[in-house]
Amino acid sequence: MSDPAQPPLKVLVAGGGVAGIEALLALRDLAGDRVDATLLTPDTEFTVRPWTVQEPFARPTAHRYPLERVARDVRATLHAGTLAAVDPARQVVHTGQGDELAYEALVVALGAKPEPAYPHATTFRGGPDAEAVHGLLQDLEGGYLRRIAFVVPPGAAWPLPLYELALMTAERARSLSLRDVEISLVTPEDRPLGVFGVTASDAVAALLDEAGVQVHLGRYAEIPDSRTVRFTPADGSFEADRIVALPTLAGRPIEGLPAAEHGFLPIDDTCAVVGVRNVWAAGDGTSFPIKQGGIAAQQADAVAQAIAVHAGVTGLPTVPFKPTLRGMLLTGSGTKWLRAAVAGGAGEAASIVSEHALWWPPSKIAGRYLAPYLATLDTALASAAPAAGAGDVPVDVDLGHAAPAVHAEGDPAGGIELLGG
Ligand SMILES: Cc1cc2nc3c(=O)[nH]c(=O)nc-3n(C[C@H](O)[C@H](O)[C@H](O)COP(=O)(O)OP(=O)(O)OC[C@H]3O[C@@H](n4cnc5c(N)ncnc54)[C@H](O)[C@@H]3O)c2cc1C
């Protein structure tokens, strides 16, 4: 319920990635015409980066969507440009292109800057680095190298893509019957993908073991040259022909907004930027320690909820930000679905692993609004995913309210139905 006499709230969303799009979709659903939304972005396309792990293996590539189309579907004005500075006292932002835009609610969703952790390793940040890893695979297949190390650096906020690369490389070597290939994975984690809890982690450990990947857990690595992985504090090292590492992430500090350690935006439990009125933030650019698409989307949902209330919408349920991790692990020979409540140091997370989709539509980025929206834009994504069948684990949709009212232009169903909801 809302007061129709109140003019729509001017909402500016900076950043057209996971969090920005999820926030726009959620806002349109929760607040309808109570908000007048603008998307400020330098990009023309949204890329689902998690799929870029497949590109080195010449498997289906990342899905890309024109932001012009997305903006039209959510009835937002698209403003090309970058967020350069915020003046919270006047409630305006300055763009890198010299424009000034006014807001009544600002959503900062700029993502994070991936920075190489090791100068002597191949850094895998997704798309642009796929070619280098593809070359490495060709060398493996041609017999020019046989030992590959995959390294998670300290401070890497989302290690899953490296597990996928290691497992897919092992599967490629197995399927081509390559002999004497040694694949290792080095990580500071105590357990493989331990953030998903014991049950899921045990399943991942079994997968790695089956694939013949040597796992070095609880290890901080140094890479003094392009062929050596040294454990630190000093207790051993090993040689590899090639080393692939994840980047570390840093925030994108914005003039006028506070910055926490490494330039991330400090947020409170409601995803409001600390100490600044009417500014919220979501996604990898925030101080929340897990940088993952599903978490970015959940933060964006919390932000949209708060802004809808600010826009005068009443009667919305109060949904506290209780993050749940959902991970779709590509193994080269199949998919594992992992889910855990984020325990935040409060004991062991409830941990589930399944061969079948645990949420619907099945998607790499489990955004409540984003996943069904993208599924309608890209039927290939939905049809390539495993189908639900008898005996599946019940689908976890956990909608706190009705299915999204926003749908893709041309969607023949005329709306989005979340199956199982
Ligand atoms: C290889 C790889 C695999 C991954 N696998 C998974 C996975 O399996 N599951 C999962 O959930 N997550 C996965 N992730 C993480 C996921 O992609 C990120 O957590 C998610 O994209 C973060 O969303 P975001 O909106 O914060 O940032 P982004 O999606 O990065 O979006 C930020 C946007 O802001 C724009 N921007 C930057 N600066 C400015 C500015 N000054 N003004 C305006 N716009 C700006 C950027 O161009 C970008 O479009 C993976 C990531 C990578 C790289």
- Collapse the DSSP code of 286 into the 3-class scheme (helix H, G, I; strand E, B; otherwise coil) and give the result: strand
Distance 123 CA to ligand 1 centre (A): 16
For ligand 1, what atom is nearest to the CA of residue 82? 42
Q: Are residues 126 and 204 in the same domain?
A: yes
What pLDDT, on the 0 to 100 scale, is given for residue 149? 98
Same domain, 228 and 271: no
CA distance between the termini of the chain: 23
Q: Are residues 134 and 95 in the same domain?
A: no
Measured from the CB, is residue 56 less than 6 Å from ligand 1? no
DSSP character string of 154-187: TT-S--HHHHHHHHHHHHHHHHTT-SS-EEEEE-
Calculate how far, in angstroms, residue 336's C-alpha sits from the geometric centre of ligand 1: 22
Q: Is residue 79 part of a domain?
A: yes
* 190 pLDDT more than 80: yes
Are 74 and 140 in the same domain?
Answer: no
Mean pLDDT of 246-253: 97
> CA-CA distance, 157 to 154, in Å (whole number)?
9
Query: Would you say residue 81 lies in a domain?
Result: yes
Q: Based on the domain organization, do 150 and 241 belong to the same domain?
A: yes
Q: Chain-wide mean pLDDT for the chain? A: 88
Answer whether residue 251 shows pLDDT above 60: yes
Q: 196, 219, 248: which is the final residue of a domain? A: 248
Evaluate whether 108 touches 303 at the Cβ level (below 8 Å).
Answer: no
Q: pLDDT for 131-162, tens place per residue?
A: 999 999 999 999 999 999 999 999 888 999 99
Q: What is the DSSP letter of 30?
A: H
Paired strand residues for 245: 123, 151
> From ligand 1's centre to the CA of 198, what distance in Å?
27
Other Cβ atoms within 10 Å of 25 Cβ, number = 30
Give the total number of structural domains in the chain.
2
Whole-angstrom distance, CA of residue 147 vs CA of residue 139: 11
How far is the centre of ligand 1, averaged over its atoms, from the C-alpha of 262 (Å)? 17
Q: Which domain holds residue 33?
A: 9-113+249-310
- Contact call for residues 403 and 376 (beta carbons, < 8 A): no
The separation between CA 164 and the C-alpha centre of its own chain, rounded to angstroms, equals 15
CB 370 less than 6 A from any atom of ligand 1: no
Q: Are residues 158 and 223 in the same domain?
A: yes
pLDDT in tens, 393-409: 333 444 333 344 444 44
**Ligand 1 pocket: which of 131, 158, 164 to mutate (most atoms <8 Å of CB)?**
158
Kindly tell me the sign of the dihedral angle through the C-alpha atoms of 287, 290, 296, 301: negative
